[in-house]
């Protein structure tokens, strides 16, 4: 495992839940952290939790279900004028559980694909070319091992698509020092995962950090498990 001290990491959806835990784990390793939430005030809790660590912290905001929100987030990050060495595409939504699994709304599908797939693709496109130019980068797309639940089909299908992004982009990274992989956090008790999940949110550490700390010739296009 490599040392990520003084690297810069952007973690989307890090105002709470799994993203917040990842931000804290990265800071503990000496990594500088860019916290993202839908609104600036949503980031305050994570920023307070990061205060004990001797790292630089930044905040960006933007609604990832809209093209304008994604572009605004990218612009804010670029305005920081720092390299993005590590990108965790963590932000995601889960639409309603529908007993009638033929009744998922058009809006369910569109929102799931915009946040869980298109934002992942756009953020990879915004920051990976510079990683390749710099000869270092780690991109981690959070996915899900959920299966056999058509009641949650827009969510599960969108997460499968996020995994496919990792797999297909990986073939373009050989010899670059940049790695892209997926991370399955498992069923975690969060606002999204619900209260009956198998694991508490703090259990994602340290496993969630592993794909950020692999060697330059390490796994590529693979799926890691946080637990």
**Predicted confidence band at 196 (pLDDT cuts at 50, 70, 90)?**
low
**Predicted confidence band at 15 (pLDDT cuts at 50, 70, 90)?**
very high
Share of the chain above pLDDT 90, in %: 92
User: For residues 181 and 221, is the Cβ–Cβ distance under 8 A?
Assistant: yes
Q: What is the model's pLDDT at position 185?
A: 93
| Beta bridge partners of residue 49, listed in sequence order | none
Report long-range pairs for 95-98 (Cβ below 8 Å, ≥24 apart).
95/152, 95/154, 95/155, 97/151, 97/152, 98/151
Query: For the segment 34-62, what is each residue's pLDDT rounded down to a tens digit?
Result: 999 999 999 999 999 999 999 999 999 99
CA angle 191, 16, 167 (to 5 degrees): 85
Q: What is the model's pLDDT at position 197?
A: 56
Can you tell me whether residue 85 is helix, strand or coil?
coil
Whole-angstrom distance, CA of residue 97 vs CA of residue 227: 25
Mean pLDDT of the chain: 95
Query: For the segment 65-86, what is each residue's pLDDT rounded down to a tens digit?
Result: 999 999 999 999 999 999 999 9
Query: For the segment 82-100, what is each residue's pLDDT rounded down to a tens digit?
Result: 999 999 999 999 999 999 9
Whole-angstrom distance, CA of residue 27 vs CA of residue 8: 10
Q: What is the model's pLDDT at position 190?
A: 64
In angstroms, the Cα distances linking 46 to 12, 22, 92, 180, 210 are 12, 11, 18, 25, 21
Q: What is the model's pLDDT at position 193?
A: 54
Whole-angstrom distance, CA of residue 71 vs CA of residue 55: 26
User: For residues 157 and 149, is the Cβ–Cβ distance under 8 A?
Assistant: no
Query: For the segment 107-150, what is each residue's pLDDT rounded down to a tens digit?
Result: 999 999 999 999 999 999 999 999 999 999 999 999 999 999 99
What is the DSSP pairing of strand 223-225 with strand 137-142?
Answer: unpaired
**Runs of H (alpha helix) within 62-148:** 67-79, 106-113, 119-134
Whole-angstrom distance, CA of residue 122 vs CA of residue 98: 29
Q: What is the model's pLDDT at position 188?
A: 72
Query: Does the structural domain 8-225 have CATH classification 3.30.300.30?
Result: no
Can you tell me whether residue 34 is helix, strand or coil?
strand
Q: What is the model's pLDDT at position 186?
A: 82
Query: For the segment 144-195, what is each residue's pLDDT rounded down to a tens digit?
Result: 999 999 999 999 999 999 999 999 999 999 999 999 999 999 877 666 655 6
Active site residues: 155
All structural domains of the chain with their residue ranges = 8-225
Q: What is the model's pLDDT at position 1?
A: 92
Whole-angstrom distance, CA of residue 146 vs CA of residue 121: 21
CA neighbours within 13 Å on the CB side: how many for 207? 16
Whole-angstrom distance, CA of residue 145 vs CA of residue 160: 9
């Amino acid at each position: 495992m490599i040392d990520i001290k003084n690297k810069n990491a952007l973690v989307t959806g890090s105002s709470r839940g799994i993203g917040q835990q990842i931000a804290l784990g990265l800071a503990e390793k000496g990594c500088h952290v860019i916290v993202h939430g839908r609104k600036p005030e949503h980031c305050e809790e994570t920023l307070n939790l990061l205060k004990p660590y001797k790292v630089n912290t930044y905040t960006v905001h933007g609604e990832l279900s809209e093209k304008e929100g994604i572009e605004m987030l990218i612009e804010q990050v670029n305005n920081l004028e720092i390299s993005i060495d590590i990108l965790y595409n963590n932000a995601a939504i889960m639409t309603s559980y529908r007993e009638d699994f033929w009744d998922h709304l058009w809006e369910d599908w569109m929102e799931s694909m915009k946040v869980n797939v298109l934002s992942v693709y756009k953020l990879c496109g915004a920051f990976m070319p510079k990683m390749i130019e710099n000869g270092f980068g780690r991109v981690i797309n959070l996915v899900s091992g959920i299966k056999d639940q058509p009641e949650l089909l827009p969510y599960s299908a969108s997460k499968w698509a996020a995994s496919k992004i990792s797999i297909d982009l990986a073939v373009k990274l050989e010899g670059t020092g940049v790695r892209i992989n997926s991370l399955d956090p498992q069923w975690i008790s969060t606002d999204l995962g619900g209260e009956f999940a198998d694991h508490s949110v703090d259990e994602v550490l340290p496993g969630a950090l592993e794909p950020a700390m692999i060697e330059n010739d390490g796994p590529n296009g693979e799926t890691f498990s946080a637990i």
